[in-house]
């Protein structure tokens, strides 16, 4: 990734990611110590990007915030923050108040950590995470919140629960399907008799979260997000982690179960049985589609654009479950060369994708160029047009899809044109849902 | 002298020192100007919820401009809401016959090194690169909070880089911490447009052309209604600045007059058009509601020496509209309503609700300044209502709504979820694409309100289960108790309080 700017960034800043994370933990109230527009900015961002999921009880413009002004920039913002925290405790009902600091207090040097420690010592359940926008993107903020949970909120447990694991690597909002996906992970791990803490969303209680220290193993489902948190966890609780790439669809679910089963030393026969049964059930549901799927020649050439988790998982799904041809996969996270290498190394199987068909690029103008290299052709009578095309990307790729005469479906952030509530694509059932959505997209006028 | 001669526009706090952000008053109306006198510009809160800064409404205008690149200079999240503005930009473009056209926004994504060593060089490179890649007519170099704190001089960078760049570079100052009033955004945008996109001389005047200053929340439906009304008077409406192409601004200097749609929005630019190009400015009413649309029209007629024609048009339109509204007024009679939105919008909509037969229980305005006194005075003629000035602050709203339980709540884009979570049917009154303005807008809003009230099932169900974050004690507290320097006593009688508390939902 070169250049002096990002084009239509596919994430917000650290504070945005941290707010999406902390604000989506049950009964937790974030408190922003930041400039006056940050909360509104994130709410409006969600409007155009998070598949219509804009607020929660203590998100959007409900979130307590210091709305720092010139006075605080000049004289420091700690007095204002103290007042805000104490009044928030009176007005807002919460089991944990979670201060998140943005750009301004970090540049002016507010010692928020000491203030938070002082107030917490008086008995208010209060923690903080540093999430200045200039320190990183939303994924950084997600990680910062996880690390605070591990350092301050999750209690150590002497006795481990053999059947309990923690799942790291699914950032709320940044993955518009996060709620459904987290349920998908629970379902998938349930096939091995495991239960999972997922930390975020309606299916995770706050009490359960504080007891996550009982987990026997951490499962990191991303080659980028949640790894630092898992390292910190290992340091603090002496529980190690396994990296199991994001599983969308049946083929990936099989690999996921195999990796997790091996890491947890679950008997191979048991894992194999679970895989056989789940696969059978999956295809019991898929089978009726086979006739029409075949007769309409539903196989497609596909352009995939998304973040590390989804771009690779979708490539797997299209390639291995549907038998499509991934012509170009674009990973849109701005990464250092070392991170790019790590991502590729950590991913087990690229679904037979030729290496030159995978690029790291976030600018749509460059993605369009790369796509034209694949689909632009001499226009001769006899040449492989690589049609029909399917674009699995964000809402930003709609104009490009139209240029390629492709069907488009929004599957990665930002998503402006789908409403997502329970929908998720993880695992076997996720693969079935994705099949429905993908086929539904190109038969809309049938 | 024109503010446009200064590099940086003054914030509203300095330009309009009477502007207020925090005010709560249980009794407004029922007498002349009582509430206006009580509003204190300096009032503040000791607890606040997240807000919006001038950058956000500014982005609404900036992202709509064709052939324009918005280059956000700040941390990567600063202005990430452009992706939300893009929803309106796409809809606006599609309505204007340009399908599938997204806004174009970029971010210099300042990092820790830039904070330490300065981000000026990065901004300069970004300007040069963006010019080469996208070949726009205009690049808006927009400063967020960070450059304002670390001391990047975007005006200097823009001036020094301009010779290397074909597009016109317009520096835009949106350092959020510098102004508490989002209305500063309008001045900031007009400052840049006025300094950079207007010609030295105005050229020959077009005596039929009227500049109609639109706002980010107006869609094409609203523009069509105003163009229709002006057309009836033989006038042609040219709309600025939202969705106006950079080249078209020169036309603004040749118009016969300019008229504002939202009086707190436009004086900065319109004063300049008057002082420098002799285009008279008309800033008084907002054409939302029946009476207000007629006042807007007749005021324009008076200024253009066509008062009789304008009055005649207004009379005819009112007669037609009132006949069509008769069954709606019957349906709304006695129902209660509560409004929360931008200053002018909320007040003008309050008046419209009374025209439709609603009992107005309360109004919340995002700010309050001298421009709106005339509007509040219009409301003073009717029954008392609660008046609350707040830059959103939904905790005050939740407290008020739980007491009052209006039949319908009308709120700004992103400002309706508190009401909805309390089970109160909500009607958005600030979202581009829907009709709100003029006689047509009044009718269309009535039609939609009736639809809302005919089946409020969604809100009733949501209200039964959805959560708000407030403690039960908060609903029992004085809703204005966190406003500092607020001396007005709660005039609710003990009996009313008791009744309302019984209904309050923790």
pLDDT digits (tens, 9 = 90+) for B268-302: 899 889 999 999 999 989 999 999 999 999 999 99
Token pair for residue B251?
A: 């036309």
Chain A residues inside the 8 Å CB shell of B414: 40, 43-44, 47, 54, 60-61
Contact between chains at A40 and B51 (C-beta distance less than 8 A)? yes
Q: How confident is the model at residue B184 (pLDDT cuts 50, 70, 90)?
A: confident
Report d(CA B301, CA B284) in Å as an integer.
13
What pLDDT shows up at residue B498? 32
pLDDT, average across residues B62-68: 96
What pLDDT shows up at residue B39? 61
Is the pLDDT at B497 greater than 50, yes or no?
A: no
pLDDT, average across residues B30-37: 49
Any B CB within 8 A of A315 CB = no
Chain B residues inside the 8 Å CB shell of A365: 133-134
Fold adopted by B16-47+324-503: Rossmann fold (3.40.50)
CB A10 within 8 A of CB A31: no
Any B CB within 8 A of A8 CB = yes
B219 to B48, B259, B281, B339: CA distances (angstroms): 32, 17, 23, 21
Token pair for residue A334?
A: 């701005």
- Among candidates A259, A47, A26, which has minimal Cα distance to A173? A47
Contact between chains at B149 and A14 (C-beta distance less than 8 A)? no
Token pair for residue B256?
A: 């016969």
pLDDT: which is higher, B197 or A380: B197
Contact between chains at B48 and A8 (C-beta distance less than 8 A)? no
Sign of torsion over alpha carbons B451, B465, B418, B361: positive
Chain A residues inside the 8 Å CB shell of B51: 36-37, 39-40, 61, 65, 67
Cα torsion through B464, B468, B471, B474, rounded to 10: -100
Residues 6+ apart with CB under 8 A from B487: none
Facing residues of A217 across strands? A165
What pLDDT shows up at residue A378? 77
B202 to B97, B199, B206, B259, B274: CA distances (angstroms): 30, 6, 11, 18, 11
Contact between chains at B49 and A63 (C-beta distance less than 8 A)? yes
- What angle, rounded to 10 degrees, do the helices at A268-286 and A427-442 form? 20
Task: Point out the residue among A48, A84, A92 whose CB comes nearest to the CB of B84.
Answer: A48
Chain B residues inside the 8 Å CB shell of A47: 81, 84, 87, 414
Task: Point out the residue among B46, B115, B180 whose CB comes nearest to the CB of A69.
Answer: B180
What pLDDT shows up at residue B208? 96
Q: Do domains B53-196 and B206-283 have the same CATH topology?
A: yes
What pLDDT shows up at residue A216? 95
SS3 of residue A423 by DSSP? coil
A79 to chain B nearest CA, in Å? 11
Residue of A nearest to B79 (CA): A41
What pLDDT shows up at residue B44? 87
Any B CB within 8 A of A110 CB = no
Task: Point out the residue among B108, B146, B417 whose CB comes nearest to the CB of A60.
Answer: B417
Superfamily holding A297-442: Nitrogenase molybdenum iron protein domain (3.40.50.1980)
Residue burial B225-236, b: 16+ Cβ < 10 Å; e: rest: bbbebbeebebe
Q: Cα A192 from chain centroid?
A: 23
| Continuous H helices in A317-426 | 337-346, 364-375, 398-403
Residue ranges of the domains in chain B? 16-47+324-503, 53-196, 206-283
What pLDDT shows up at residue B490? 36
Token pair for residue A218?
A: 């951490």
CATH for A14-153, options being 3.40.50.300, 3.40.50.1700, 3.40.50.150, 3.40.50.1980 = 3.40.50.1980
Is the pLDDT at B489 greater than 60, yes or no?
A: no
Contact between chains at B47 and A88 (C-beta distance less than 8 A)? yes
- Among candidates B158, A352, B404, A117, which has minimal Cα distance to B396? B404
CB A218 within 8 A of CB A194: no
pLDDT digits (tens, 9 = 90+) for B302-330: 999 999 999 999 999 999 999 999 999 99
Report d(CA B412, CA B343) in Å as an integer.
11
Token pair for residue B429?
A: 């009154």
Token pair for residue B207?
A: 């005596």
Contact between chains at A45 and B83 (C-beta distance less than 8 A)? yes
Contact between chains at A5 and B129 (C-beta distance less than 8 A)? yes
Burial zone of B83 (CB within 10 Å; 0-12 exposed, 13-18 middle, 19+ buried): buried
Task: Point out the residue among A73, A134, A416 whose CB comes nearest to the CB of B115.
Answer: A134
Percentage, residues of chain B above pLDDT 90: 73
Any B CB within 8 A of A6 CB = yes
Chain A residues inside the 8 Å CB shell of B469: 29, 57-58, 62, 92-94
pLDDT digits (tens, 9 = 90+) for B237-269: 999 999 999 999 999 999 999 999 988 888 889
Any B CB within 8 A of A49 CB = yes
What pLDDT shows up at residue B201? 87
Report d(CA A313, CA A333) in Å as an integer.
15
Query: If contacts are CB pairs under 8 Å, which of residues 394-433 in chain A contact chain B?
Result: 396, 398-399, 402, 414, 416
* Pairing label, strands B44-45, B483-484: antiparallel
Tell me which of A40, A43, A71, A104 to substitute to probe the interface with B (most B C-beta atoms closer than 10 Å). A40
CB A10 within 8 A of CB A410: no
Report d(CA B145, CA B185) in Å as an integer.
14
What pLDDT shows up at residue B488? 41
Range with the poorest average pLDDT among A41-45, B202-206, B276-280, B409-413: B202-206
- Among candidates B268, B264, B123, B270, which has minimal Cα distance to B211? B270
What pLDDT shows up at residue B369? 83
Residue of A nearest to B54 (CA): A37
Token pair for residue A106?
A: 């970090």
Report d(CA A107, CA A421) in Å as an integer.
38
Q: How confident is the model at residue B1 (pLDDT cuts 50, 70, 90)?
A: very low
CB atoms within 10 A of CB B201: 10
Any B CB within 8 A of A63 CB = yes
Report d(CA B506, CA B494) in Å as an integer.
20
Q: What CATH number labels B53-196?
A: 3.40.50.1980
pLDDT digits (tens, 9 = 90+) for B350-385: 999 999 999 999 999 998 888 888 888 888 888 889
Mean pLDDT of chain B: 90
Report d(CA B116, CA B113) in Å as an integer.
5
Domain(s) labelled CATH 3.40.50.1980 in chain A stretch across 14-153, 164-284, 297-442
Percentage, residues of chain B above pLDDT 70: 92
How many residues are there in chain A? 446
Query: Cis (ω within 30 of 0) for the bond into B270?
Result: no
CB atoms within 10 A of CB A195: 13
Chain A residues inside the 8 Å CB shell of B91: none
pLDDT: which is higher, B36 or B197: B197
| Low-confidence residues in chain A, pLDDT < 70 | 1-2, 346-356
What pLDDT shows up at residue B259? 96
Chain A residues inside the 8 Å CB shell of B177: 35-36, 68-70, 72-73, 104
Residues 6+ apart with CB under 8 A from B465: none
Report d(CA B425, CA A54) in Å as an integer.
18
What's the CATH class of domain B206-283? Answer: alpha beta
- What angle, rounded to 10 degrees, do the helices at B220-232 and B438-454 form? 140
ipTM attached to this prediction? 0.96
Contact between chains at A44 and B394 (C-beta distance less than 8 A)? no
Angle ∠(B411,B412,B414) on CA atoms, nearest 5: 105
Contact between chains at B84 and A8 (C-beta distance less than 8 A)? no
Task: Give residue for tokens 């003054």.
Answer: B10
Element (H, E) at A206: helix A206-210
Task: Point out the residue among A29, A104, A416 whose CB comes nearest to the CB of B177.
Answer: A104
Tell me which of A21, A35, A90, A369 to substitute to probe the interface with B (most B C-beta atoms closer than 10 Å). A35
SS3 of residue A360 by DSSP? strand
Residues 6+ apart with CB under 8 A from B161: B123, B124, B127, B128, B169
Residues 6+ apart with CB under 8 A from A254: A275, A279
Q: What CATH number labels A164-284?
A: 3.40.50.1980
Residue of A nearest to B473 (CA): A91
Contact between chains at B77 and A8 (C-beta distance less than 8 A)? no
Token pair for residue B37?
A: 């006198």
Residues 6+ apart with CB under 8 A from A291: none
* Pairing label, strands A195-197, B426-428: unpaired
pLDDT, average across residues B50-71: 95
Contact between chains at B112 and A83 (C-beta distance less than 8 A)? no
Chain A residues inside the 8 Å CB shell of B80: 9, 11-13, 16, 41-42, 45
Residues 6+ apart with CB under 8 A from B421: A57, B462, B463, B466, B467, B468
Contact between chains at B469 and A57 (C-beta distance less than 8 A)? yes
pLDDT digits (tens, 9 = 90+) for B417-458: 999 999 999 999 988 889 999 999 999 999 999 999 999 999
What pLDDT shows up at residue A130? 97
What pLDDT shows up at residue B505? 31
B432 to A96, A342, A417, B224, B262: CA distances (angstroms): 38, 45, 17, 13, 15
Report d(CA A53, CA A61) in Å as an integer.
14
A214 to chain B nearest CA, in Å? 30
A224 to A186, A324, B198, B442: CA distances (angstroms): 21, 26, 49, 53
Report d(CA A179, CA A197) in Å as an integer.
13
B494 to chain A nearest CA, in Å? 23
| Continuous H helices in A287-413 | 290-295, 308-316, 337-346, 364-375, 398-403
Angle ∠(A286,A291,A294) on CA atoms, nearest 5: 100
What pLDDT shows up at residue B41? 65
Task: Point out the residue among A37, A49, A93 whose CB comes nearest to the CB of B53.
Answer: A37
Task: Point out the residue among B47, B78, B177 whose CB comes nearest to the CB of A133.
Answer: B78
């Amino acid at each position: 990734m070169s250049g002096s700017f990002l084009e239509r960034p596919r994430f917000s800043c650290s504070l945005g990611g941290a707010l999406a994370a902390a604000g989506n933990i049950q009964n937790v109230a974030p408190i922003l110590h930041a400039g006056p527009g940050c909360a509104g900015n994130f709410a409006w961002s969600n409007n155009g990007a998070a598949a219509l999921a804009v607020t929660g009880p203590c998100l959007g413009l409900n979130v307590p915030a210091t709305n720092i002004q010139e006075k605080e920039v000049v004289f420091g913002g700690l007095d204002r923050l103290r007042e805000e925290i104490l009044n928030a405790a009176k007005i807002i009902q919460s089991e944990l108040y979670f201060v998140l600091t943005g750009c301004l207090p970090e540049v002016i040097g507010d010692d928020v950590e000491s203030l938070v420690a002082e107030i917490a010592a008086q008995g208010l359940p209060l923690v903080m995470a540093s999430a200045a926008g200039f320190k990183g993107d939303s994924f950084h903020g997600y990680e910062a919140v996880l690390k605070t949970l591990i350092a301050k909120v999750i209690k150590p447990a002497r006795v481990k629960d053999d059947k309990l694991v923690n799942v790291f690597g699914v950032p709320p909002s940044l993955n518009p399907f996060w709620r459904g996906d987290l349920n998908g992970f629970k379902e998938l791990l349930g096939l091995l008799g495991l239960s999972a803490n997922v930390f975020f969303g309606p299916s995770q209680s706050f009490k359960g979260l504080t007891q996550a220290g009982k987990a026997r193993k951490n499962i990191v489902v991303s080659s980028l997000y949640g790894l630092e948190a898992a390292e910190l966890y290992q340091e603090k609780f002496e529980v190690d982690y396994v990296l199991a790439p994001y599983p969308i669809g049946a083929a990936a679910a099989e690999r996921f179960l195999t990796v997790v089963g091996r890491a947890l030393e679950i008997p191979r026969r048991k894992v194999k049985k679970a895989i056989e049964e789940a696969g059978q059930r999956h295809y019991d549901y898929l089978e009726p589609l086979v006739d029409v799927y075949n007769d309409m020649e539903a196989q497609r050439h596909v352009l995939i654009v998304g973040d590390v988790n989804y771009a690779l998982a979708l490539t797997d799904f299209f390639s291995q479950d549907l038998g499509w041809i991934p012509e170009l996969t674009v990973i849109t996270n701005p990464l250092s060369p070392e991170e790019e290498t790590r991502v590729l190394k950590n991913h087990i199987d690229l679904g037979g994708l030729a290496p030159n068909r995978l690029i790291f690029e976030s600018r749509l103008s460059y993605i369009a160029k790369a796509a034209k290299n694949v689909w632009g052709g001499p226009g001769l009578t006899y040449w492989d047009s690589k049609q029909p095309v399917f674009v699995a990307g964000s809402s930003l790729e709609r104009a490009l899809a139209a240029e390629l005469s492709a069907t488009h479906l929004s599957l990665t952030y930002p998503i402006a044109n789908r409403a997502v509530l329970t929908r998720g694509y993880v695992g076997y059932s996720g693969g079935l849902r994705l099949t429905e959505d993908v086929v539904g997209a190109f038969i809309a006028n049938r | 002298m024109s503010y446009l001669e200064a590099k940086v526009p003054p914030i509203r706090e300095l330009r309009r020192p009477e502007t207020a952000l925090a005010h709560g008053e249980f009794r407004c109306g029922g007498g002349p100007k009582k509430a206006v006198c009580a509003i204190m510009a300096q009032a503040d809160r000791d607890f606040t919820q997240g807000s919006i800064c001038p950058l956000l409404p500014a982005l609404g205008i900036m992202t709509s401009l064709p052939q324009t690149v918005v280059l956000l200079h700040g941390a990567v999240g600063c202005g990430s809401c452009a992706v939300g503005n893009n929803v309106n930009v796409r809809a606006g473009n599609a309505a204007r016959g340009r399908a599938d056209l997204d806004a174009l926004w970029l971010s210099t994504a300042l990092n820790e090194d830039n904070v330490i060593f300065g981000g000026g060089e990065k901004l300069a490179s970004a300007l040069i690169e963006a010019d080469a890649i996208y070949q726009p007519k205009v690049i808006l170099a927009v400063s967020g909070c960070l450059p304002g704190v670390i001391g990047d001089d975007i005006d200097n960078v823009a001036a020094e880089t301009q010779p290397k760049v074909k597009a016109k570079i317009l520096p835009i100052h949106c350092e959020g911490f510098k102004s508490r009033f989002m209305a500063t955004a309008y001045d900031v945008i007009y400052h840049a447009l006025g300094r950079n996109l207007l010609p030295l001389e105005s050229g020959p005047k077009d005596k039929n052309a009227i500049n109609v200053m639109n706002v980010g929340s107006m869609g094409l439906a609203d523009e069509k209604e105003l163009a229709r009304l002006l057309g009836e008077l033989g006038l042609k409406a040219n709309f600025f600045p939202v969705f106006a192409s950079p080249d078209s601004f020169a036309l603004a200097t040749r118009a016969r007059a300019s008229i504002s749609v939202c009086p707190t929005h436009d004086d900065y630019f319109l004063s300049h058009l008057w002082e420098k190009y002799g285009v008279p400015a008309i800033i008084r009413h907002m054409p939302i509601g029946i009476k207000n649309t007629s006042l807007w029209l007749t005021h324009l007629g008076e200024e253009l020496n066509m008062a009789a024609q304008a009055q005649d048009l207004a009379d005819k339109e009112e007669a037609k509209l009132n006949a069509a509204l008769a069954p709606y007024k019957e349906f709304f009679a006695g129902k209660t309503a509560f409004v929360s939105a931008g200053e002018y919008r909320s007040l003008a909509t309050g008046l419209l609700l009374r025209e439709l037969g609603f009992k107005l229980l309360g109004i919340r305005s995002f700010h309050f300044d001298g421009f709106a006194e005339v509007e509040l005075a219009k409301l003073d003629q009717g029954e008392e209502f609660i008046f609350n000035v707040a830059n959103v602050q939904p905790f005050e709203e939740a407290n008020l709504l739980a007491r009052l339980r209006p039949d319908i709540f009308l709120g700004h884009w992103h400002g309706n979820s508190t009401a909805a979570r309390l089970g109160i049917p909500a009607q958005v009154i600030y979202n581009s694409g829907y009709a709100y303005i003029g006689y047509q807008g009044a009718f269309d809003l009535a039609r939609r309100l009736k639809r809302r009230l005919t089946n409020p099932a969604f809100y009733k169900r949501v209200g039964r289960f959805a959560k708000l974050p407030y403690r039960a004690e908060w609903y029992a507290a004085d809703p204005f108790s966190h406003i500092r320097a607020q001396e007005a006593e709660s005039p609710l009688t003990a009996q009313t309080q008791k009744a309302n508390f019984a209904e309050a939902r923790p």
